[in-house]
Structure 1
């Protein structure tokens, strides 16, 4: 019984530490792209793939559902292509610039294979993110609780989206080509009063 309790305690501690996303270091991955003059749509092409990141509106009211989605389209010569990825190839980490809070995006890491048909984009909707630890400040914890419930507080948000996946380029050697395409969009949340 002690062994199970120890394992569970370690798991919860790991989750808490991983969820602790407040970071004021400007050299982090979320700052790798220019955050000036962003829009609500971004598109990046690399090789035979197009990655799109979209927020449906530039401004939302508090407690209004935030609608963000990402797409991956195959534009190569084949009729279809198989990719391998984690639980999803899409990631939606964010930065709330008013408070300088990073909103992490954790994901399970199984090896999943997905077939993408040419001309039919693979699409995923943002479904929430964030996390906090017991050592975080009360304001940060309250902010993250709202984000985790998809109730975005008033502020300015930059979505540092990316799609990460592999394609097998040689079946005999199982040599893979790794793709990590990045894009940014932004939106504001206004006070609904």
Structure 2
């Protein structure tokens, strides 16, 4: 009787373990295919401001300069408005999705101001980025150094663009109205070293 019980326990365990096995032959791919279109232009309207983020191409080749720019346009009731921001109201942090690497975007935090004239967009181009710590993995440091030299390795990139600024909502009380407008565009780099 004990033998039959042990055989049944062994049989149930075997069936349970067999049922839990996964098919490791399936390819798991979280990356979009190379033919899937990428969003290269984005526009966000927030109250009296229009924020645009653009990469000029969906796909760049080896050693080709990456062309990304952001625009902020005032559309409100005044002829002009003054905005207050860090060194720039624009930042361009990214994620390289093939390796899942974050590419930071550092900037001088000093307070600056810019006058926006109604209907005339303020434009800034991406000029490179990247931050790493000496304790990061060597592969990541090598990757970020290439980005800092604007030599983008092969991969898929998502730009998480931000327009971060504030305006004086009330001149008398100097009450501030803050804006943190976000959008995304994507591009690929092919045949890169």
Query: In the TM superposition, what is the alpha-carbon distance from 1:57 to its structure 2 partner?
Result: 0.1
Unmatched tracts of structure 2, length 5 or more = 1-35
- Match in the other structure for 1:112: 112
1:148 aligns with 2:148: yes
2-side partners of 1:129 and 1:92: how far apart?
A: 8
Unmatched tracts of structure 1, length 5 or more = 1-35
1-side partners of 2:96 and 2:141: how far apart?
A: 14
2-side partners of 1:62 and 1:133: how far apart?
A: 27
Query: In the TM superposition, what is the alpha-carbon distance from 1:37 to its structure 2 partner?
Result: 6.7
Q: TM-score, normalised by structure 1?
A: 0.79
Q: Which runs of 4+ in 1 moved over 3 A?
A: none
2-side partners of 1:134 and 1:118: how far apart?
A: 45
* Residue pairs, 1:43-192, within 5 angstroms: 43-191=43-191
Taking only aligned residues, the RMSD between alpha carbons, in angstroms, comes to 1.4
Query: In the TM superposition, what is the alpha-carbon distance from 1:133 to its structure 2 partner?
Result: 1.3
Q: TM-score, normalised by structure 2?
A: 0.79
Higher relative contact order (CA 8 A, sep 6+): 1
Indicate if the aligned counterparts of 2:153 and 2:192 stay in contact, CA closer than 8 A. no
Indicate if the aligned counterparts of 1:59 and 1:188 stay in contact, CA closer than 8 A. yes
